[in-house]
Structure 1
């Protein structure tokens, strides 16, 4: 029986539409990627989270979520991890203050086929996480130690006080080690003390530094290694003009303003870049199936002093300016990660 031409055309159209709807993985919308952080309260974590969201958006076509407890609480972070993992993300990035607590959970997620990246804090050796995006913390400490030493006479014999928001946390301990070795080499007559526990909660951190200042009235330098140390030391520095060096790893508007006036020296961990790199890599994995690099992508830190503090303060005035600041470096890392890749064992 002859089939009318109009019917043949309609059948052909339906066939083409059906074929297009089943054209393969390229048209499949990828699942969401997730980023779990240890504490949304910390400024450097907020930077990291913004960078991650931008990195995913830069790839395009991939949904994302960023979550974590309001304050540093490992038990709460573990509960949130369970919730995130139950949602079956296409890929997962995590920043943990105590990576060893997440080793089993991350190992299970990886066994189920979830691509995982550790950001800012190296993963626990037993977790099976194949990729870490973060700094060389010993190098950060050494960089700050050199900057402090350059501001003091080589023959000085005073006391240098180091504080840490979480003594025992591997990344912070590595910073202290880099600081101590550099200061002792550059200022052999100085006495380096600490790290003293300066606490993670902002008010407690400020009280700890005020106590250290009263207990060491003749100290020649006070150095913080992370978290709220930077704001507390900036507060001490802003309230007086005693001839001691104020230094910290991290930054905020107050500390950047002091650095512009050459009254403070800082090292930034550049966590926006870390988040952006992780976001882009995870989005590409979810969207294209591109496997993650294996190892440690070492992201650079930045020394901030009177020479560049104004530029950094300007960068921080908008996310658009941050994006432009980091664009070239992020492009290079994502497209040619081998230039920054080191063995993961070197970070553990």
Structure 2
């Protein structure tokens, strides 16, 4: 009986702890809030670290980052609700499912909450006035052009594109950019995809393994999501001769890029988070409204010419902070000329 009572008490404690984790208590002392999907996702960690650094640039401003550990749209929705009443500062949101949040965010704007969409384009109807993120068509074009230049002219064969979230706008735009660039520069190549490569690391690796077994003579495999680059790097062997392409700064992929058989484009999530945190903190301190529009964050191609530098940048928080300092200062010091209309975001 005591065992059953203890077990029941333990279960209740776990339930209460889970509820507390899912619904953190809002605080008026946190004027800069970041809400994310999947805190354990590598590029989300970069967003969060950059956000904290951006807020630290403005003395006296507190910040808070919340979100489920694993990607869980419903849990993220539950966690953000208490911060949308206009009484708890500005909120930056990264989600894989902007459409799911559109109605709640629209109501939050009406309530007076200052909102920033981060990394994912806000859905129509959300009324989010500020978006900080990449030109994802340009990201895909950069990757496609870099890959095409590594395929000899007049070569015939297949290039396979994969995406861990087909249907997510930013990833679809990247895939479109990759396809268009390769077809323009290497018209004899046939481009297939994007195929669904799944977000879960194990499932992602299995999906790429299956695609490679089905297309053993493909000229290249190109992933447009962060999980893809890691899997493609893991699946290479000493006898693999093709070129692979991916997005992000996964350590294994960076090592491959340094040696030559892989090309990456970094979406610079640390810089995206830094800009969001700095803008929110600065506006909170000065009492100014957030700027409106789209603040585009350029990506960078990573290959043999700069992979060692980027690896060094990614080695520590201090290294990232120093590497991004000048670029962040340039953007923050010239916001009016850098901003673009929100309707142009892609």
Deviation at 1:267, TM superposition (A): 0.2
* Counterpart Cα distance in 1 of 2:83 and 2:226: 25
Matched residue SS, 2:226: coil
Larger displacement relative to structure 2 (239-248 or 226-235) = 239-248
What TM-score do the two structures reach when normalised by structure 2? 0.89
* Counterpart Cα distance in 1 of 2:334 and 2:31: 24
Specify the alignment match of 2:271 in structure 1.
273
Deviation at 1:112, TM superposition (A): 1.4
Specify the alignment match of 1:81 in structure 2.
80
Matched residue SS, 1:141: helix
Specify the alignment match of 1:4 in structure 2.
none
Matched residue SS, 1:306: coil
Matched residue SS, 1:211: helix
Q: Which runs of 5+ in 2 are unaligned?
A: 1-27
Which of residues 246, 249, 271 is equivalent to 2:247?
249
* Counterpart Cα distance in 1 of 2:129 and 2:278: 16
Specify the alignment match of 1:153 in structure 2.
152
In the TM superposition, what are the counterparts of 1:237-316 in structure 2 within 5 Å? 237=236, 239-316=237-314
Q: Which runs of 5+ in 1 are unaligned?
A: 1-28
Deviation at 1:55, TM superposition (A): 0.5
Give per-residue Cα distances to partners, 1:199-241, cap 9 Å, x unaligned.
010000000000001000000000000121110001112x233
Specify the alignment match of 1:318 in structure 2.
316
In the TM superposition, what are the counterparts of 1:131-280 in structure 2 within 5 Å? 131-237=130-236, 239-280=237-278
RMSD: 1.4
What TM-score do the two structures reach when normalised by structure 1? 0.89
Matched residue SS, 2:172: helix
Specify the alignment match of 1:99 in structure 2.
98
Deviation at 1:262, TM superposition (A): 0.9
Larger displacement relative to structure 2 (309-318 or 63-72) = 63-72
CA contact (8 A) 1:62 1:283 kept: yes
* Counterpart Cα distance in 2 of 1:177 and 1:98: 19
Matched residue SS, 2:125: helix
CA contact (8 A) 1:31 1:286 kept: no
In the TM superposition, what are the counterparts of 1:44-123 in structure 2 within 5 Å? 44-85=43-84, 88-123=87-122
Which of residues 333, 337, 340 is equivalent to 1:339?
337
- Count of aligned pairs: 319
Give per-residue Cα distances to partners, 1:316-336, cap 9 Å, x unaligned.
111111111111121122221
